Amino acid sequence: MTRRGFLRVGSLSLLGMSIQQYLHLADAWAANGLESPQKKAEACILIWLEGGPSHMDTFDPKPNSRFKPIATNVDGIQVSELLPGVARHMDKLAIIRSMKSEENNHPQGGYYALTGHRPTIGELFPSFGSVICKERGPRNAVPPYLLAPMPWETYFPDYKDGFSAGFLGPDYDPMVLPDPSGEDFEVPDLKLPKGLTSDLIDHRRSFLKVVDRHCRDLEQRGELGVMNALSERALTMVTSPEVKKAFDLSRESEQTRDAYGRDRVGQSVLLARRLVESGARFVTASGYGYAEWDTHADNDELLREKLGPTLDRTLSTLIEDLEQRGLLETTLVVVMGEFGRTPKINPNGGRDHWPDCWSLALAGGGIRGGQVIGASDEEGAYSVDGHVAMGDVFATIYKAFGIDFTKTYETPFGRPVYIANGLNNLPGRPLTELL
Amino acid sequence: MEPNRKKRHSMTAGIGVLAVLCVIGLMDARGLADDPSGEPTLISLRFLPEGAALWGSGAAQRFMVLGAYSDGLERDVTDQTWFILSDLEKASIDAAGRLTARADGELELTAEVGKVTAKARVTIEGSDEQPPFSFARVIGGILTKRGCNAADCHGGVKGKNGFKLSLNAVHPREDHKWIVEGGEFQVLSDEASGPKTPRIDPEQAEQSLILLKATGEAAHGGGRRFETGSSDYQTILEWVASGAPYGAESGEEPVVIDGIEILPRESVLGPDGRQQLLVTARLSNGRREDMTDQVTYKSNNKEVARVNADGVVEPVKPGETAIMVRAAGHAASARIGVIAQTLANYPEVEGYNVIDEHVFGKLRKFNIVPSQLCTDAEFVRRVCLDVTGTLPPGHRVREFLDDPDPDKRNKLIGVLLASPEYVDYWTYRFADLFRVSNYGQSGSKYAAMYWQWIRNSVAENKPYDQIAMERIAAQGFDGPSRHYYHIGGELPKPPNEMAEQVRVFLGRRLDCAQCHNHPYEAWSQDQFWGLSAFYGDLTRLGHLGIDMVIIDDPAGHGEVGAGQQVIHPRTKQVVLPTFPNGRALSAAERVDLRGHFARWVTEHPYFAEALVNRIWSIFFGRGLVEPVDDFRSTNPPSHPELMALLAEEFKTSGYDLKHLMRLIVQSKTYQLSGLPNDTNREDEMNYSWHRPRPLDAEVLFDAICQVTDVYGEFGGAHNQRRAVNLVAPDLHPLRFLEVYGQSDRMVVPERKNEANLDQALHMLAGSTYNEKLGRDGGRLDRLLEGETSDREIINAFYMVAYARLPGPDETGVLEAMIAERADRKEALEDMVWAMMTSREFAHNN
């Protein structure tokens, strides 16, 4: 890209930007070239590791872990012995080992990891899923943004906020699904009640035409028009066989359901794949329940007994499945929690919160696998070569989706904020190695 | 002596007038001179300002002449005016109405348009005295007028290209430092970063960066702001050459601007109108000074009206907007209405109370005719929903409609304000605003304490300042203290808590000032942290899980450690509790910090207007300031005088909530019909007709339960029938409430009530709309048991859902539709479903 090129682009968005931010962006542009936005990703699956996974016991093996490092199918890259299935697919995965978060507790950390912003009382920032759905829009009648299931059975509003659309409004909030592994899994309001046939719906709508007669004048002008359009879309959704099929896990073979795992983790990821295949844009598979990765006690046991095996099984199955179906090229998979865990084991045999250095993994959607970005020190305590911020990860993902990662939104206070917001509110920079 | 006459008619204007005359002459030559038909005639003139007192050498004042015309419009006729001065020795005046002082004394100024005249008195003093120099006024004025310190230039939060100025020169001391010393602004430190480049060069004044950049001689992203040799250039040049003083060096504080005023505050323009704005500064020495030529003008909506650099406003298309005026350190606005035409026969519109006086007065000026009064049926449903959050029961509707008493509306208002449903509804409103939840108060027990305090306060109609005092200053283990006790025993952070209280009780959003001076307002970061420090002693005593006490403890014996010292993020210094005017609490005063803060809040003039606006918006669906808690100089109220008056009324009444509500619902403005007319159809902000407002989630849910007479959704141990009575809504998640925008009460609620897809899905397939329809024991089921006719059933549902009987165009059609169906119950269920999903039902009309 020519210098003139980026100056021209720069001057468009220079308003309200400090010279520091500007140079930061200019670097990003110079390194990546804004002129040929790459666009491979069409959909995204986020596997949410609720509670914050121990990085040195998973993607960043260290001597201070009980678990041994094992070789992968990529020379020179090792992962924890807890992830043998993942190791076979390392060529498709990229691991970032120098993540840094600015928050050290669950609701705030989750919020930060999902939005790139620390929580404030006045503004609710959109999750990166909401941003992708806003920028790329729905693909068909299937709802674009879904969350399956809500990780917490108790009502924890400020945990939930991270997944929301924030100030973008309810149009970009995820549709929240119940636990797909349940016997009676059913999506609320997506199935007509027993006995309510489409004939009956027609009847009801003719009655509605009569009783709304007095407002017909107003109907022409906006509000009701919007509701009418929404009603049509709703009707299409509840009557569309495609939508119905998208949520119907019973259409998967027993073999596939078993391979993903018959628990919340496995079935939520399987449902995510079904949805993405049917047209969803962004699905958060949040099968791990409240604090499941929050191993303050008995870290090693929990990882050995449940967390490691379920993650390994489901993630490796997903990658194989996507690849077999030809969806891996267009489906970006993100595997992360809200932060990492302490290098030292505490007196309860647990590991506590560690936001300074942790790992996440990406695959598919145009991400170049088989590599590790960043490195942590001997113990996995601090990065040895600079940090990667959530904003950088978001910028990478947006770029993979062909979204202008330098874009800003205006908050309700009229404050411009980057959709890829990095450390210290600097714009995030795509990780060039990954694209 | 011959009076000094000047008439302004530039050549072009003169030719224009001639051309028009010629065209008209060609079309119709009859009696142009004396035929006023169609053309409004001039009735009287007035001066703005009405008079002036000038002080200082070369002092000037611009005068404007407004003419009242027979069509009810007032037009700016300054450029058709002859100005006559009684004494030419003492002053001169130019054609634009700019009067310049020459010598001390008094004189009379006369304006003449045709035979109509007006007079103004002018006094001149100190005509040989030089006003003392003030950096803030002189240099700050130029930086403001030339846009250098605008928000998108150097006035941005971090400045621009390494040069920072305060927006509008609100912080002249800092500006002086940035110009004279240089350095780059940092958000997280008060140390300037980067190389320090002074913007001036006293040795070679004309080589000063500030001049080279502004004149475009050095590359400047902002382009050329003024010419080399212009008067602004000269002023800055001389200032630099004289050592770049601040103006207080002599020990005497320079005269500063206390505020600015715009004349006229409100004006209405026809399609070809134009209006000059005059800006006057109120100075700290008690004098006033014309600033018309030293400010920047900006239209809030350029699609409605434009304004040029001289302050002349011109219409674009019908509508309403504000013209923002920025002077050094200050901003103000004037309201401009643009109308398509004047109405020949504007009807006589009578008001009921002071609200109508202002609302109807403005409508008259804007040539908008208010709709008729609403019918009794419209009124009874509307006022019941607004005062009690409840649909009127069918038999009460009949009673009201049949009552011949001409004062029955006021009687009903009295009954509603005294009803138990009033307490339910306003408890819910304030529980939403004050954020009562299981999560927020760390458990249902504490949430219930907090909620009960709100309920008691509403029930006894506690003065609102007392409510605010109790919430802000809460100590101990009472209801309001639970506001400060979050899940896990966490205490709120001082800046967040302070900003929330200011937003709730003063209607201002200070949040921006947490990290930097507010980008659009005169709130500084220091003020923000000074106020936050009033929360610095907030702590708790006791044990988690057991009853915990909230206290202000300077020693900080609480579980959270040695108090929460409030540290300024830039200076890294401990901040003392300091009021925005800079007064810090003395050591002796530093007990019960939140008590001090609560008094400051409740005694602030913003306190009453913030609440008035909040209540008003609940009754009208739109605040006089909108958004309701975003008062800003750049976001002025639609009816400033009414706002001031209601705030005063509220204060005088002893902050009596019911008094304010009564005033609102008794007004004719509130009681206007929901049917627009040809003049007001497009009106969105002047309350000329009753725009339907969507019901809030809880109220709509309760209404559905009421119509179907099927309750019990929140059953079990928590035996509440109505959603508005839920103490901690987060303990009773309900899909309906969620999809209709219930607040989770984690932040100050901002309900948008926009239609969304989830609502559409829920209407179609959801339990609320499907399972209540014909349920055993419900309204429809009982009516069917009673062998009621279709018509009676239709009527019964219309009365409870819409508070009216069906029209002739409805009854017959509905009857026929039911009759043709094989399954009567199913058909009636379909009708009830249709009514509950109808727009008329889901709105307050």
pLDDT tens across B484-495, in order?
A: 988 777 788 888
Distance from CA of B806 to the nearest CA of A (A): 9
DSSP type of residue A364: S
Mutate to test the interface with B, among A175, A214, A243, A408 (most CBs of B within 10 A): A214
Q: Which residues of B177-191 are buried (b: 16+ CB within 10 A; e: fewer)?
A: ebbbebbbbbeeeee
B821 touches A: beta carbon within 8 Å: yes
Query: In this predicted structure, what is the pLDDT of residue B431?
Result: 96
pLDDT digits (tens, 9 = 90+) for A39-87: 789 999 999 999 999 999 999 999 999 999 999 999 999 999 999 999 9
pLDDT, tens digit, for every residue of B789-828? 999 999 999 999 999 999 988 999 999 999 999 999 999 9
Does the structure show a pLDDT above 80 at A19? no
State the pLDDT at residue A225.
Answer: 67
How high is the pLDDT of residue B102?
92
Are the C-beta atoms of residues B503 and B614 closer than 8 Å to each other? no
- Looking at residue A5, its pLDDT comes to 29
Lowest mean pLDDT among A124-133, B160-169, B405-414, B773-782: B160-169
Residue B128 banded pLDDT, cuts 50, 70, 90: confident
Burial, A102: exposed, middle or buried (Cβ in 10 Å; 0-12, 13-18, 19+)?
A: middle
Q: Which of A8-12, A66-70, B430-434, B532-536 has the lowest mean pLDDT?
A: A8-12
Does residue B530 surpass a pLDDT of 90?
yes
CB B155 within 8 Å of CB B174: no
Give mean pLDDT, residues B501-524.
Answer: 82
When CB atoms are compared, the residue of B439, B503, B810 closest to A157 is B439
Q: Match 């059609």 to its residue by tokens.
A: B813
For chain A, the domains span 1-37, 44-187+253-434, 188-246
Chain A nearest-CA distance from B505, in A, is 15
Q: Which of B733, B747, B838 sits opposite A211 (nearest CB)?
A: B838
Parallel, antiparallel or unpaired: strands B51-55 and B116-125: parallel
Please give the pLDDT value at position A13.
32
**Contact (CB<8Å) A204/B830:** yes
ipTM: 0.79
What band does A370 get if pLDDT is binned at 50, 70 and 90?
A: very high
Average pLDDT over every residue of B124-152:
84
Q: A367 pLDDT exceeds 60?
A: yes
Distance in Å, alpha carbon of B156 to nearest chain A alpha carbon: 7
Q: H/E/C letters for each residue in B509-544?
A: CCHHHHCCCCCCCCCCHHHHHHHHHHHCCEEEECCC
H/E/C letters for each residue in B84-133?
Answer: EECCCCCEEECCCCEEEECCCEEEEEEEEECCEEEEEEEEEECCCCCCCC
Burial class (CB in 10 A: 0-12, 13-18, 19+), A85: middle
As a whole number, mean pLDDT of residues B377-398 equals 96
Interchain CB contact of A297 with B (< 8 Å): no
What DSSP element (H or E) covers A408?
strand A408-410
Query: Strand locations in A26-113, DSSP E?
Result: 43-48, 69-71, 78-80, 93-100
Q: Which of the four pLDDT bands, split at 50, 70 and 90, describes residue B34?
A: very low
> A189 and B152: CB-CB below 8 Å?
no
- Residue A114, pLDDT above cutoff 50: yes
* Cβ under 8 Å to A: B residues 476-495: none
Which residues are registered as beta bridge partners of B460?
none
For every residue of B339-394, DSSP letters joined together read -S---TTPPP---SSHHHHHHHHHHHHTT-PPPPBPPHHHHHHHHHHHHHSSPPPH
Q: Decide if B496 and A211 are in contact by the 8 Å CB cutoff.
A: no
A373 or B22, which is more confident: A373
The confidence band for B751, taking pLDDT boundaries of 50, 70 and 90, is confident
CB-CB contact of B457 with B465 (8 Å): no
Identify the helix (H) or strand (E) that includes residue B431. helix B420-434
Which range is least confidently modeled, A7-21, A175-189, B424-438, B509-523? A7-21
B503 shares contact with chain A (CB less than 8 Å): yes
A423: confidence class by pLDDT, cuts 50, 70, 90: confident
Q: Which two tokens stand for residue B318?
A: 């019908």
How far apart CA B757 and CA B763 sit, in angstroms, is 10
The length of chain A in residues reads: 435
Q: CB of A226 within 8 Å of any CB in chain B?
A: yes
pLDDT-based confidence at residue B19 (cuts at 50, 70, 90): very low
Q: Hey, is the C-beta of B759 within 8 angstroms of any chain A C-beta?
A: yes
DSSP classification of residue A64 = T
> Which of A54-63, A290-299, B159-168, B326-335 holds the top average pLDDT?
A54-63
Would you state the structure tokens that stand for residue A262, as one six-digit string?
């018959």
What single-letter DSSP state applies at residue A18? -
* pLDDT bucket at A105, cuts 50 / 70 / 90: confident
Look over chain A and give the mean of its residue pLDDT values, rounded to a whole number. 87
Bigger pLDDT: B659 vs B492: B659
Chain A within 8 Å of B374 (Cβ-Cβ)? no
**Percentage of chain A modeled with pLDDT above 90:** 63
The half-sphere exposure of B191 on its side-chain side, counting CA atoms within 13 A, is: 5
Hey, which residues does B278 pair with through a beta bridge?
B263
Closest residue on chain B to A167 (Cα): B750
> Does the CB of B816 have a partner CB in chain A at under 8 Å?
no
Task: State whether residue A214 sits within 8 Å of chain B by CB.
Answer: yes
Structure tokens that stand for B486 in this block? 């979050």
Contacts of B835 in chain A (CB under 8 A): 207, 211
Q: What percent of chain A has pLDDT over 70?
A: 87
Q: Do B826 and A190 touch (CB under 8 A)?
A: no
pLDDT confidence of residue A240: 84
In three-state form (DSSP H/G/I as H, E/B as E, the rest C), the secondary structure along B28-43 is CCCCCCCCCCCCCCEE
Report which of A172, A85, A188, A70 is spatially closest to residue A127, judged by C-alpha positions. A172
pTM score of the predicted model: 0.79
Q: Nearest by CB to A210, which of B735, B757, B814?
A: B814
Euclidean distance between CA atoms B52 and B292, whole angstroms: 14
Taking the Cβ of residue B733 and every Cβ of chain A, the question of whether any pair is shorter than 8 Å is answered with yes
- Give the tens place of pLDDT for each residue, A152-163: 755 565 677 899
Lowest mean pLDDT among A119-123, B210-214, B258-262, B282-286: A119-123
Q: Could you tell me which residue, B535 or B553, shows the higher pLDDT?
A: B535
- Could you tell me if B615 and B312 are in contact, meaning their C-beta atoms sit under 8 angstroms apart? no
Residues in chain B: 845
Confidence of residue B184 (pLDDT cuts 50, 70, 90): confident
Average confidence (pLDDT) over A240-261: 93
Considering only the beta carbons, identify the residue of A161, A191, A193 that sits closest to B746: A161
CA atoms within 13 A on the CB side of B592: 12
B174 to each of A280, B9, B178, B222, B347, how far by Cα in Å?
53, 46, 6, 21, 56
The tokens for A293 are 């990765």
First vs last Cα of chain B: how many Å apart? Answer: 68
CB contact A230 to B (< 8 Å): yes
CB contact under 8 A, B757 and A234: yes
Q: What's the whole-number mean pLDDT along residues A213-223?
A: 62
Q: If DSSP codes are grouped into helix, strand and coil, which group holds residue B239?
A: helix
691-710 in B: which are within 8 Å (CB) of A?
A: 692
Residue B801: enclosing H or E segment and its boundaries?
helix B790-802
Query: Measured between alpha carbons, how far is B180 from B473 in angstroms, rounded to an integer?
Result: 44
Confirm or reject CATH 3.40.720.10 for domain A44-187+253-434, answering yes or no.
Answer: yes
Structural contact between residues B616 and B623, judged by C-beta atoms closer than 8 angstroms: yes
Q: Where are the beta strands (DSSP E) in B209-315?
A: 257-263, 266-269, 275-276, 278-283, 288-290, 296-299, 305-307, 312-315
Residue B772 touches partner A, C-beta closer than 8 Å = no
Which of A210, A223, A425 should we substitute to test contact with B (largest number of B Cβ atoms within 10 Å)? A210
Contact A19 B161 (CB under 8 A): yes
pLDDT at residue number A224:
61
Instruction: Indicate the average pLDDT of chain B.
Output: 87
Q: Is the pLDDT of residue B255 over 80?
A: no
